Structure 1
Amino acid sequence: MTADPRGRARRLDDAFLVAGSSSFTDFIGAYRPELLPSGRPLPSGASLEAPHGTTIVSLLFDGGVIMAGDRRATMGNIIANRDMEKVFAADSYSVVGIAGTAGVAIELVRLYQVELEHYEKIEGAIMSLEGKANRLASMIRGNLALAMQGLTVVPTYAGFDLETDMGRIYSYDVTGGCYIEGGHHSTGSGSVFARGSLKKLWRPGLAEEVAVGIAVEALYDAADDDSATGGPDLGRQIWPTVAVVDRTGARFVSQPDLEAHVQRIVAARRDNPGGAR
């Protein structure tokens, strides 16, 4: 609202009264661009150490999709955070996982959540899963200037497609390229090790409980070889974050269930330290 010299509220600014795009990001970009993550570029030649999120894995199961992330954030050779959340509900039927510069990534996710909620309020309908994936791609593309200065964000998006009645996984590159993945996908510093585990363990038509165990085991394998990926911390009772999305919506696996999966994997590794076969 505009200020009144006598201290009374006046009408909203004209920008709030003009019919425009259903995109909240487009509105902020036109009205207050400095509030966007990309609206605050680093000074030329500046460099800084910022916490980075690491490994995210996603896989399809019979009836939906699972996304899991480790909990470690690193800053150079230092563990900056041991219990960081990297998997978030984007809306009722999709989730997004972050890898890259943690602060920028979390801000991007929060803006994306508002973007989807704003669209539903303006249009009175849920955006299609493909539309939501493409909307995230455009937001990543808007972050390219920061990425060129080292503040890279590379999320993974997954959700349940109400039109096709199946789960889908979308990956991105730093320029905003959006790609549909097959049965499984991983991103982040430990992704190459997680992918090897997924290749051995994943198969079509998995039950949900089995798929959750595979996701946790893939992160365990990634942490075994990548120092930036945090494995399950039995002493501190810190487990990976695991989200399940199916036709009933998005939800997160409970801590007791995750602990049971971790205990099973640790017990199995006593006999087979080399991992999945």
Structure 2
Amino acid sequence: MEESPELLNKSVGGLAEFDFSLCERNHALKRQMDGEGFGKLFENMTKMTSSGTTIVGAIFQDGVVLGGDSRSTQGNIIANKKAMKVHYLTDRIYASGAGGSADLEKVSQIVSAELRLFELNSGLQARVVMAVRRLRQYLFKYMGHVSCYYLVGGVDPTGSHLFTVKASGNALRKAVEAEGSGSYCAVAELENGFKPNMTEGECVALIKKGIEAGMRGDNMSGNSYNIMVITAKGLKKELGIKPSFAKEEKIENQFKFNAESLTVLSKRVQAAL
């Protein structure tokens, strides 16, 4: 069965409400590729990807606390057990990131460099809204194709701020928030325990509960987690925190080779320059 060109080339309509025009086109493409033997390829192309992350943030009376787990995944494989998901922007502004590791690292570096140049040229401290604005401008150009979801938090002369920035370029001001595949579990703890004007200790305890809930409920989040406490006085770090339910990893099959098992064929000694 050959699909009509009008259906295959269908564009998004100009409706004010949600538009599902492309659903018919996608079904037609699937039918055509099935007939040509490429149906499996189409399924892989349109498959949703999990960000495999739990990142959280909350405001307290003197600053902001950001945190994230340390598991970086590549499909069903744990690629990195000690990934740092809280990215540096300035000395008083950090961003927890969910999405693609390479995208998050590079976009964070670009915005961090721009903020630093502003501080050097003006002699002023960069504002949190400036970081959010630059992230929004950069990400909006790519319409979601750059896989970056941020929780931007920091302290500046106007106070303590926390924003969520989506890959589409949308941003919202928040008092407490979670992102990533483990956010469904984390946000339940955060919303249940959050209250205005928390102390630093209360906020850190809440962030820990949120991250651990995400790690417990999402197998793409795990291993350990890191927390950054940002205040006007500076930065406090808690790194490599392991929850009580995490199993101790033991390295098995450590082989020790006998030094005499290898035969030395020749030796040469050369003086260092």
- The match for 1:170 is 163
Query: Is the aligned partner of 1:154 residue 2:153?
Result: no
Q: Name the CA distance, whole Å, in 2 between partners of 1:114 and 1:53.
A: 27
Match for 1:185: what amino acid?
A: E
What 5-or-longer segments of structure 1 have no aligned partner?
1-44, 234-238, 267-277
- The match for 1:75 is 74
- The match for 2:205 is 213
Q: Name the CA distance, whole Å, in 2 between partners of 1:155 and 1:129.
A: 13
Distance 1:209 1:254, change over 3 A: farther
Distance 1:179 1:119, change over 3 A: same
Match for 1:253: what amino acid?
A: E
What's the secondary structure of 1:154's corresponding residue? Answer: strand
Q: Name the CA distance, whole Å, in 2 between partners of 1:138 and 1:116.
A: 14
- The match for 1:15 is none
- The match for 2:235 is 250
Q: Given the alignment, which residue of 171, 182, 188 partners 1:190?
A: 182
The offset of 1:49, in angstroms, is: 12
Match for 1:152: what amino acid?
A: S
Query: Is the aligned partner of 1:240 residue 2:225?
Result: yes
- The match for 1:100 is 99
Distance 1:100 1:120, change over 3 A: same
Q: Name the CA distance, whole Å, in 2 between partners of 1:250 and 1:206.
A: 18
What 5-or-longer segments of structure 2 have no aligned partner?
1-41, 246-273
Match for 2:230: what amino acid?
A: V
The offset of 1:132, in angstroms, is: 2.2
**What's the TM-score once normalised by structure 2's chain length?**
0.67
Distance 1:112 1:53, change over 3 A: farther
Q: Name the CA distance, whole Å, in 1 between partners of 2:68 and 2:142.
A: 22
- Whether the 8 Å CA contact 1:185–1:195 is kept in 2: the answer is yes
Identity %: 22
- Whether the 8 Å CA contact 1:52–1:75 is kept in 2: the answer is no
Q: Name the CA distance, whole Å, in 2 between partners of 1:206 and 1:242.
A: 17
Question: Could you tell which deviates more after superposition, 118-127 or 66-75?
Answer: 118-127
Q: Name the CA distance, whole Å, in 1 between partners of 2:49 and 2:170.
A: 24
What's the secondary structure of 1:98's corresponding residue? Answer: strand
Distance 1:53 1:97, change over 3 A: farther
Match for 2:55: what amino acid?
A: I
- The match for 2:194 is 202
Distance 1:50 1:226, change over 3 A: closer
Distance 1:79 1:50, change over 3 A: farther
The runs of 4+ residues in structure 1 deviating greater than 6 Å are 45-51
The offset of 1:253, in angstroms, is: 2.7
Count of aligned residue pairs for this structure pair: 203
The offset of 1:53, in angstroms, is: 5.2
Q: Name the CA distance, whole Å, in 2 between partners of 1:253 and 1:62.
A: 19
The offset of 1:101, in angstroms, is: 0.7
The offset of 1:250, in angstroms, is: 3.1
**What's the TM-score once normalised by structure 1's chain length?**
0.66
- Whether the 8 Å CA contact 1:50–1:102 is kept in 2: the answer is no
What's the secondary structure of 1:206's corresponding residue? Answer: coil
Deviation digits for residues 165-216 of structure 1, max 9, x if unmatched?
3x211011222112111x2101111111100011122222222122112111
The offset of 1:52, in angstroms, is: 4.8
- Whether the 8 Å CA contact 1:74–1:228 is kept in 2: the answer is yes
What's the secondary structure of 2:147's corresponding residue? Answer: coil
Deviation digits for residues 125-184 of structure 1, max 9, x if unmatched?
22322222212211222343xx43xx5211110111312x3x211011222112111x21
- Whether the 8 Å CA contact 2:51–2:181 is kept in 1: the answer is no
- Whether the 8 Å CA contact 1:193–1:225 is kept in 2: the answer is yes
